[in-house]
């Protein structure tokens, strides 16, 4: 996933699109992405100013960043599992004889409430992911019928409500880690704007590069040119995602933590 790349990797991946004459020419030769090149140039310049290549992080900061990435893996896995569980229940309801239309509608409405923006949430910032799970916690408290519905849907080792509570806990842990990271960044840097600036630039980079990749999927340009632009990004993104395997993420995210306690049974 793009969001698991660190800032140095982001800078390194898009730098050839700007400074390497061959890669730049290939980028501009593909109609579907050529118009995005000025945005890439501007963003690359901002990234280099905000955090020059070679800038170092403290061991404490690196630990926080790695832990956040590991917890994020669990958050995303749980979000996908909950979404898939609801969709399976909806489709099974429609496949019944006769179709259970009301039940299917209930599953559809539950999905809309938990994921109003669909799976886009797993590509959002850590702050946004944490805020969304807090919204879900409040939703379950205010709408006990939704919690009851999730409790009715079985999954391996529990129910969808159990997965949702674990999702909320992972989101809370992400929020705490992000607050800790921001506080540490404020102590370690002489440039107060670094924390917010880098967060904004990361989000913008992910959005812009995602758009480039999506447009390349639809492009009819020379496959070799497309692969030259796209290949390094996909390979690096895949390697970055593998840094944080799911068992390690579960152990990290679900370690005892007062601020990461799952939603209480009051929401059940």
pLDDT at 266 over 80: no
Classified as helix, coil or strand, 5 is: coil
Amino acid 24: pLDDT: 94
Rounded to an integer, the average pLDDT of 152-181 is 94
Residues 179, 60, 235, 213: what is their CA dihedral angle, to the nearest 10 degrees?
30
Amino acid 22: pLDDT: 92
Band (62; pLDDT cuts 50, 70, 90): confident
pLDDT at 268 over 70: no
Amino acid 208: pLDDT: 95
Amino acid 261: pLDDT: 44
Q: Across all residues in the chain, what is the average pLDDT?
A: 87
Band (224; pLDDT cuts 50, 70, 90): very high
Classified as helix, coil or strand, 158 is: strand
Encoded tokens for 138 = 């409040």
Band (76; pLDDT cuts 50, 70, 90): very high
Which residues partner with 155 through β-bridges? 158
Q: Which residue has the tokens 């170092």?
A: 56
Q: Which residue has the tokens 């933590």?
A: 257
Rounded to an integer, the average pLDDT of 151-180 is 94
Cα atoms in the 13 Å half-sphere on the side-chain side of 164? 36
pTM: 0.69
Q: Provide the 8-state DSSP code for 157.
A: T
């Amino acid at each position: 996933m793009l969001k698991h790349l660190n800032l140095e990797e982001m800078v390194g991946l898009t730098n050839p699109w700007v400074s390497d004459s061959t890669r730049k020419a290939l980028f501009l030769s593909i109609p579907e992405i050529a118009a995005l090149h000025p945005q890439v140039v501007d963003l690359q310049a901002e990234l280099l100013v905000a955090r020059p290549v070679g800038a170092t992080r403290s061991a404490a900061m690196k630990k926080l960043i790695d832990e956040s990435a590991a917890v994020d893996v669990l958050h995303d896995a749980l979000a996908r599992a909950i979404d898939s569980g609801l969709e399976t229940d909806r489709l099974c309801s429609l496949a019944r004889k006769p179709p259970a239309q009301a039940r299917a509608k209930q599953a559809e409405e539950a999905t809309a409430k938990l994921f109003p923006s669909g799976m886009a949430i797993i590509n959002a910032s850590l702050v946004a992911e944490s805020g969304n799970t807090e919204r879900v916690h409040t939703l379950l408290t205010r709408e006990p019928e939704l919690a009851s519905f999730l409790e009715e849907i079985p999954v391996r080792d529990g129910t969808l409500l159990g997965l949702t509570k674990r999702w909320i806990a992972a989101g809370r842990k992400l929020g705490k880690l992000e607050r800790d990271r921001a506080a540490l960044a404020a102590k370690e840097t002489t440039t107060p704007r670094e924390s917010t600036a880098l967060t904004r630039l990361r989000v913008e980079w992910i959005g812009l590069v995602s758009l480039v990749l999506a447009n390349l999927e639809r492009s009819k340009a020379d496959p070799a040119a497309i692969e030259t632009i796209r290949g390094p990004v996909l390979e690096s993104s895949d390697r970055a995602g593998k840094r944080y395997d799911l068992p390690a993420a579960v152990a990290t995210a679900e370690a005892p933590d007062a601020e990461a306690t799952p939603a209480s049974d009051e929401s059940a």
